[in-house]
């Protein structure tokens, strides 16, 4: 293979794109038969914000493809096929509810994009609560659930429905549930 270095200009990238670049950039060559770049026969040896170290089995024009849609844990974009959460945290912060492999930790529940994770049993920090309580507050009554555990898997779709019903152009990740009551018994999701 031909080994070469392709420089990368990180200036047009967002800070998050720069963080996940090593997992989202791929070495490629120009394939004249398809008039497009292809990664076939190329190996990406390493990538950093300065460039990519590549090895390809072609004598051609080379480039680095920055695929912004590749499923990357830590980019804040929830890939339902491979991730249970993605809080946009790279490098990952342990114990925040969403681990380095984008799996939900312990008794946390995560929803939204980027994912917001809250613990059902441990107190949440004031910073988490401040972030979660900005904006409009409302109280809604929902039926058809037997318990908090029965409701939690539907938090995301519930938040999407509330966001859509407001017609304010807000995202589902902006709808936060702090307390859920069943009958006279209430469970504090964030305390």
Q: Is the pTM of this model over 0.75?
A: no
Residue 24 lies in a domain: yes
Closest by Cα among 77, 46, 90 to 64: 46
b/e code 89-107 from CB counts within 10 Å (16+ = b): bbeeeeebbbbeebebbee
Residue 76 lies in a domain: no
For residue 31, name the pLDDT band (cuts at 50, 70, 90). Answer: confident
- Number of structural domains (the chain) is 2
CA distance 71 to 38: 19
Residue 96 lies in a domain: no
Residue 100 lies in a domain: no
Residue 175 lies in a domain: yes
CA distance 60 to 62: 6
Residue 129 lies in a domain: yes
Q: Domain of 140?
A: 118-188
Structural tokens at position 137 = 């507050």
Residue 7 lies in a domain: yes
Residue 144 lies in a domain: yes
For residue 52, name the pLDDT band (cuts at 50, 70, 90). Answer: very high
Instruction: Please give the pLDDT value at position 191.
Output: 34
Check pLDDT > 70 for residue 97: yes
> Model confidence over 148-177: pLDDT tens digits?
777 777 777 777 777 777 666 677 766 666
């Amino acid at each position: 293979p031909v080994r070469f270095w392709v420089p990368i200009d990180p200036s047009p990238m967002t800070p998050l794109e720069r963080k996940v670049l090593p997992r989202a950039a791929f070495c490629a060559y120009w394939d004249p038969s398809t008039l497009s770049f292809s990664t076939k026969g190329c190996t990406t040896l390493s990538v950093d914000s300065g460039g990519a170290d590549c090895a390809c089995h072609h004598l051609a024009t080379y480039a680095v493809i920055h695929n912004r849609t590749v499923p990357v844990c830590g980019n804040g974009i929830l890939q339902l096929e491979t991730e249970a959460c993605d809080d946009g945290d790279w490098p990952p912060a342990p114990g925040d509810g969403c681990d380095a492999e984008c799996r939900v930790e312990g008794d946390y529940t995560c929803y939204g994009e980027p994912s917001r994770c809250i613990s059902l049993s441990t107190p949440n920090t004031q910073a988490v609560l401040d972030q979660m309580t900005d904006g409009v507050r409302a109280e809604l009554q929902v039926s058809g659930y037997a318990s908090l555990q029965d409701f939690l898997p539907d938090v995301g779709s519930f938040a999407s429905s509330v966001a859509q019903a407001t017609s304010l152009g807000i995202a589902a990740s902006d709808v936060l549930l702090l307390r859920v009551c069943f009958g006279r018994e209430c469970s504090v999701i964030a305390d």
